[in-house]
Amino acid sequence: MSDYSNQVCNKSLAFDSKWFQNVCINSAAVKCNVAAIKNETKCVNSEKKIKTLLKAIELIDLTTLAGDDTPVCVERLCIRAIKPLRKHLVDKLVGLDKLKQAPKVAAVCVYPSRVKDCVDTFEKLNSRVNIASVATGFPSGQYPLTSRLKEIEYAIKQGANEIDIVINRNYALNGDWAKVYDEVREMRNLCGEKAHLKAIIEAGELGSLSNVYKASIASMLAGADFVKTSTGKVAINATLPIGLVMTRAIWDFYVATGIKVGFKPAGGLRTGNDAIEWLKLVYTELGEEWLNADLLRFGASSLLNNIERDLFRLIYGRSPHDYEVSF
């Protein structure tokens, strides 16, 4: 993954109501498949676990979306993004031939008003990763379309090259998929080639797995580059059953159109084991081609610290002291 993604942006396709007819999700089968994935990840050996956790680091959208975010807070986030592991741990991993060079995360994710802070910090550091910004009335999406579009425009002008938008859940809950499509398409058109578009469907508030599937399809038809599970600001965020349904939608869309759309689980990913389970799910449902930062991201704030601690335990055979890891 380069410092700055060069993935080609998606384009809108014509709305087709056939995608939303006769959608039936077998909840029992979903639970069975998820249980199989969880069982398979229980017996991962140390060698494979280290490799998988290092892969997970490169897929993280390192996120701060707090009301008390400041330029200093964002500067720390950006420094961590380009140096996600402590130097002594990187040196140890390189020495053990587990790592060729120090990793970076995929992106930082901030509010629009903090994007310029990211740009300024990366210029000072002479290094960068992708800059993502939440927009469109995050997290509720309960704002007029005109103001949501202006928010996208502002974030891009400030320097964001990825925009995480929120779909209108009112339209989704009413089954008005054409309106969901129309709004996301306008957002896609505004992003153009300047920014990748990640559509947050807020799956935990959609009422059913069928709606999760349909919201994913509507967003992809409208031109979303990624479909994202959640804002991380509601009671139910990224769960493996939701992820399985969304990845099936991505696969169905790919088979029908030849277009590869990315996937971003966000909210509730905290432990190294969480990352391993999600990587296994994506590998099982979409294949190895999706296991890169152009097609898979993890939205998280605490995941990186926990992965660093897991790597320390696996390498040194003991728990780290606080001064030996980041916090």
Q: Which structural domains are found in the chain, ordered by start? A: 47-324 (3.20.20.70)
DSSP string, 52-77: HHHHHHTTEEEE---TT--HHHHHHH
Is residue 16 among the annotated active site residues? no
With 60 as the cut, is the pLDDT of residue 98 above it? Answer: yes
What's the CA gap between 273 and 267, in Å, rounded?
15
Which of the four pLDDT bands, split at 50, 70 and 90, describes residue 44?
confident
Is residue 228 among the annotated active site residues? yes
Catalytic, out of 61, 164, 225, 294: 164
* Segment 73-84, tens digit of pLDDT: 999 999 999 999
Which of the four pLDDT bands, split at 50, 70 and 90, describes residue 9?
confident
Which of the four pLDDT bands, split at 50, 70 and 90, describes residue 5?
low
Report CA torsion sign: 12, 13, 15, 21.
negative
* pLDDT value, residue 6: 58
* Segment 112-136, tens digit of pLDDT: 999 999 999 999 999 999 999 999 9
* pLDDT value, residue 242: 98
**Helices of type H across 234-302:** 240-257, 272-286
Average pLDDT of the segment spanning 265-292: 97
* pLDDT value, residue 16: 97
State what percent of residues in the chain have pLDDT above 90.
Answer: 94
* pLDDT value, residue 327: 79
With 70 as the cut, is the pLDDT of residue 2 above it? Answer: no
Catalytic, out of 104, 116, 264, 280: 264
Strands (E), 137-247: 162-166, 196-200, 226-228
With 70 as the cut, is the pLDDT of residue 1 above it? Answer: no
What's the CA gap between 203 and 246, in Å, rounded?
9
Phi-psi group of 44: left, alpha or beta (phi > 0 → left; psi -120 to 50 → alpha; rest → beta):
beta
Catalytic, out of 116, 198, 214, 228: 228
With 90 as the cut, is the pLDDT of residue 34 above it? Answer: yes
Output the CA torsion 26→31→35→36 (10° steps).
0
Is residue 117 among the annotated active site residues? no
